[in-house]
């Protein structure tokens, strides 16, 4: 199959001006931001699977990893690995999951590339997790705890 013909169905697909994550990048929507640089931004998932559940995104809009260059994919995961240490310290967790969904079939709810960092504790090993409610204040507090726990 020609690579240009390969498409991933995504019901959440929207133009960048209507994209929730692009609006967070542009500060048109609120989020509990952990950190950002020129190319990437990290903020708290507003319905976390566990306390400390963080999302890392490229600022440039693209729906799936297929829309990113190899260097962008490398930068995204390198930053997620760095932030995961802050997440683990801030939540006193024992491990973490990276989850990166591409397309409707994979439950990608926001069609802008992102990596989930989900901290887990040994006591939860093997358990399925449900999304939890968190207040904006709880998310802001956790974002600042993770930021303080990041290595410089």
How many residues bind Zn ion (CB under 5 A)? The answer is 5
Of 53, 61, 112, 114, the catalytic one is: 114
- Exactly one of 10, 21, 32, 58 binds Zn ion (CB under 5 A); that residue is 21
Tell which positions 98-117 bind Zn ion, by CB under 5 A.
112
Beta carbon nearer to Zn ion, 19 or 142: 19
User: DSSP states of 83-115 as a string?
Assistant: HHHHHHHHHT-SEEEEE---SGGGT--SSS--E
Buried b (16+ CB within 10 A) or exposed e, 105-131: eeebebbbbbbbbbbbeeeeeeeeeee
Which residues in 61-100 contact Zn ion (CB under 5 A)?
A: 61
* Closer to Zn ion by Cβ: residue 22 or 34: 22
Q: Around Cβ 148, how many Cβ atoms within 10 Å? A: 10
In a 13 Å sphere around the CA of 32, the CA atoms on its Cβ side amount to: 23
Residue 57 contacts Zn ion per CB under 5 A: no
Is 116 among the residues known to form the active site? no
Task: Kindly state the smallest distance separating residue 28's Cβ from Zn ion, in Å.
Answer: 12
Name the residues annotated as catalytic. Answer: 114
Residues lying near Zn ion in the complex (CB under 5 A): 19, 21-22, 61, 112
């Amino acid at each position: 199959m020609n690579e240009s013909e390969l498409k991933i169905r995504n019901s959440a697909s929207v133009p960048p001006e209507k994209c929730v994550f692009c609006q967070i990048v542009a500060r048109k929507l609120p989020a509990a931001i952990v950190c950002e640089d020129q190319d990437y931004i990290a903020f708290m998932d507003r319905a976390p699977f566990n306390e400390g559940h963080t999302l890392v995104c490229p600022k440039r809009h693209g729906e799936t990893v297929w829309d990113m260059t190899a260097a962008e994919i490398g930068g995204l995961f390198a930053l997620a690995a760095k932030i995961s240490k802050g997440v683990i310290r801030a939540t006193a967790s024992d491990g973490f999951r990276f989850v990166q969904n591409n397309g409707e079939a994979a439950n990608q709810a926001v069609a802008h590339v992102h990596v989930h960092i989900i901290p887990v504790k040994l006591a939860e090993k093997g358990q399925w997790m449900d999304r939890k409610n968190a207040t904006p204040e709880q998310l802001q507090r956790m974002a600042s705890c993770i930021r303080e726990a990041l290595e410089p």
